[in-house]
Structure 1
């Protein structure tokens, strides 16, 4: 089998004997549909709550939308949605979570220039560390004190627009994430994300997932009624499905749809897994971790996980790499993370955990010593890495090749 696969903005080639390839997995192909048609259909067949019912008696609406770290086509949704809201007073808040607020150009990109110019006096970005903009909403069963943006108390109703995809510790993005982390305080987000170190916090898992359950409890504390739009995107970031209605109901429906499109059934795990990381996740090691995480599900214990990611932007945040390289023993770093958790440490923990049961081979632009310090063996080409891994695992070893590992999720039949 000879394949040409992505490497940053270029490509790379590999060749593997057919009898060594257990599976070659590509992202699912979606039928291309017009977004306006999908939105209208979702409103005609909404989950638990119709938009007409939601809008009754409401004079003011807060629209909670994603920042630029998510590919949600908010501006296109607003083109269809805003005319349906009539002459109600509208406010907009960018659900940045712990991210930096976008500047004026970013706001125009998110909302669309026309919407931004028409409503710019009522466009706000969430500030997770500014207590002036926060209000206590209650406490979850896990002891997380929920502080939310005060804007939620200043309107009659809330509409959130989000996109749903598998997430390595929350189960899925979307839905309740508009509120936690979207418009929560930094301390609330930190507490929630600390649950990512617990066993149930896994990819595509909602039930028994402490991160998800804490998020859902937080969303239930939002003081005003919520109408939700949850979009599912394909590999090209085109909208493949829209699910509208009650927050929990539309989110769960979107998750079910996502499972049918983003996952593939795995008969048996492989000795070697080769995962290709596409833009934008291939820009640095920090983002690449999101792709490594699902790939490990296809790997046997003691196997070799090869990831191909240009990482032309480096390793990512300095504190992330400093933590990852703070000891020559991954178990020691994992213990330190458990004892002194800070926001973001869970990402390092997930990568380090793999190093305790598998070998990681890396094909990147990073210098060899940078990778070696974080328990990865560097290779200059994907072909070299594959040949070495198969030779090391023996003549009977098989390889699974995953083209876009971010949206191609292995699920073990057993």
Structure 2
């Protein structure tokens, strides 16, 4: 189904064009007398959020009875007030009550069970069907209370290649964005079983997307989505669509597949992934690995270069106990690891990449070498099964022709030309 859309691959939407599009399309939604929640990303998503949120705010604030913005954290760490101000208004010192009067901006409180509402149940049989037989376990669907109780929900977020679901955005802002960790863990583990290298950048309804859509369908009320694609390495908005979360996402997924996947003729021998400041720990900075892995030669090294990062995971300390390993390391020792949160297991396998594990010998073989050049000490790196390099040595290494440097790593996906889908 076609949806209202502006721009396209390579186009730069002006402020005036974008505001006009948002005003026109959101203007068609009946908001009078209704409670509205805007669902927005956290600051790990690269986009000009102040520009975008101001346009949406202007289109809704004098029409809805109440307006609130909920930051779809998933299980990322809660954002601090100054971080929210910087993300949504462009300055840590911004007074959000003055910038967005009448619209509080709050974190999704995923750690607080009282802040969640059960909207329904997905049976084990249905999970098996949706996941292609990879998982057979039922689950309740717990969603942010403020989101559930709003009459109208409008997702406002970018579309990008994603290691768990294929292409991010759309209903992913409900699950995992505004969900409880149990369902998040299940979807992430299914993605891990498929593997990041196979899943990332896959268009269409992947098994994980199917699970997400099933859960999101249980969320009551009217649901809309302002989906958009931001040009790589810039703040320029290339394209935007407005409609149902499914349709707006599908339209913009076509754009990101053209603009955020770079196909290379030959694999990179090694990669230095230079991590931008918006990634605060390895939990999020590992995107630098995910999006390089498919294009690195067997035996190559991927260096996560992030001198500003001193923490592996702010919200998930279990990763310090299990470290980083391939999928089969866990699958072949399931009795040992099944009680670890599955989202942590999924992050571990996504962050380590392809490999094998021999249960008889206890030997794990990884396709690539993973190295942290961060403020995380060597002894910690050793304990979590990753290599260590002094970040001070990396600028010189960037001159080595055997290393391909990816600046602002984490958004553009690199794949081999031989993997390009046939037209």
Displacement after TM superposition at 1:173 (Å): 2.6
Segment drifting more, 76-85 vs 289-298: 76-85
Displacement after TM superposition at 1:230 (Å): 1.5
Note closer, same or farther for the CA distance 1:144–1:330 as it changes in structure 2 (3 Å cut).
closer
Q: Does 1:160 align with 2:155?
A: yes
The match for 1:306 among 281, 302, 308 is 302
The match for 2:369 among 351, 360, 364 is 360
CA RMSD of aligned residues (A): 3.5
Q: Does 1:221 align with 2:196?
A: no
Segment drifting more, 248-257 vs 195-204: 195-204
Aligned twin of 2:178: 183
SS at match of 1:364: strand
Q: Given that residues 363 and 385 in structure 1 are in contact (C-alpha distance below 8 angstroms), is that contact kept between their aligned partners in structure 2?
A: no
CA offsets 1:376-411 (integer angstroms, 9 cap, x no match): 444554588789996xxxxxxxx7554444233223
Displacement after TM superposition at 1:322 (Å): 2.8
Displacement after TM superposition at 1:42 (Å): 6.2
The match for 1:258 among 252, 256, 259 is 256
Aligned twin of 1:267: 265
The match for 1:68 among 20, 23, 43 is 43
**CA distance in structure 2 between the aligned counterparts of 1:214 and 1:378, rounded to whole angstroms:** 37
Matches within 5 A, 1:211-360: 211-233=208-230, 234-270=232-268, 272-280=269-277, 284-301=281-298, 303-317=299-313, 318-324=317-323, 332=329, 335-336=332-333, 339-342=338-341, 343-354=343-354, 356-360=365-369
For structure 2, list consecutive stretches of 5 or more residues without a partner in the other structure: 1-8, 90-95, 128-137, 356-364, 419-423
Q: What TM-score does the superposition give when structure 1 sets the normalisation length?
A: 0.75
**CA distance in structure 2 between the aligned counterparts of 1:119 and 1:174, rounded to whole angstroms:** 26
Q: Does 1:136 align with 2:134?
A: no
**CA distance in structure 2 between the aligned counterparts of 1:358 and 1:171, rounded to whole angstroms:** 21
Aligned twin of 2:65: 89
Segment drifting more, 251-260 vs 232-241: 232-241
Q: Given that residues 195 and 327 in structure 2 are in contact (C-alpha distance below 8 angstroms), is that contact kept between their aligned partners in structure 1?
A: no
**CA distance in structure 1 between the aligned counterparts of 2:148 and 2:311, rounded to whole angstroms:** 40
**CA distance in structure 1 between the aligned counterparts of 2:161 and 2:33, rounded to whole angstroms:** 34
Q: Does 1:412 align with 2:388?
A: no
Which one has more relative contact order, counting CA pairs under 8 Å at least 6 apart? 1
The match for 2:75 among 98, 114, 121 is 98
Q: Given that residues 363 and 382 in structure 1 are in contact (C-alpha distance below 8 angstroms), is that contact kept between their aligned partners in structure 2?
A: no
Displacement after TM superposition at 1:286 (Å): 3.8
Q: Does 1:150 align with 2:145?
A: yes
For structure 1, list consecutive stretches of 5 or more residues without a partner in the other structure: 1-28, 45-49, 391-398
For these two proteins, the number of residue pairs brought into alignment is: 368
Aligned twin of 1:172: 167
Displacement after TM superposition at 1:199 (Å): 0.9
Displacement after TM superposition at 1:56 (Å): 6.7
CA offsets 1:213-240 (integer angstroms, 9 cap, x no match): 2112222222111121122223134433
SS at match of 2:291: helix
Displacement after TM superposition at 1:309 (Å): 0.3
Higher alpha-carbon Rg: 1
Q: Given that residues 201 and 261 in structure 2 are in contact (C-alpha distance below 8 angstroms), is that contact kept between their aligned partners in structure 1?
A: no
Segment drifting more, 291-300 vs 100-109: 100-109
CA offsets 1:315-350 (integer angstroms, 9 cap, x no match): 41353233117x9x9964564566334032211122
CA offsets 1:353-398 (integer angstroms, 9 cap, x no match): 44634241636245544444444444554588789996xxxxxxxx
Matches within 5 A, 1:99-138: 99-112=76-89, 113-114=96-97, 118-119=101-102, 123-138=105-120
**CA distance in structure 2 between the aligned counterparts of 1:346 and 1:385, rounded to whole angstroms:** 31
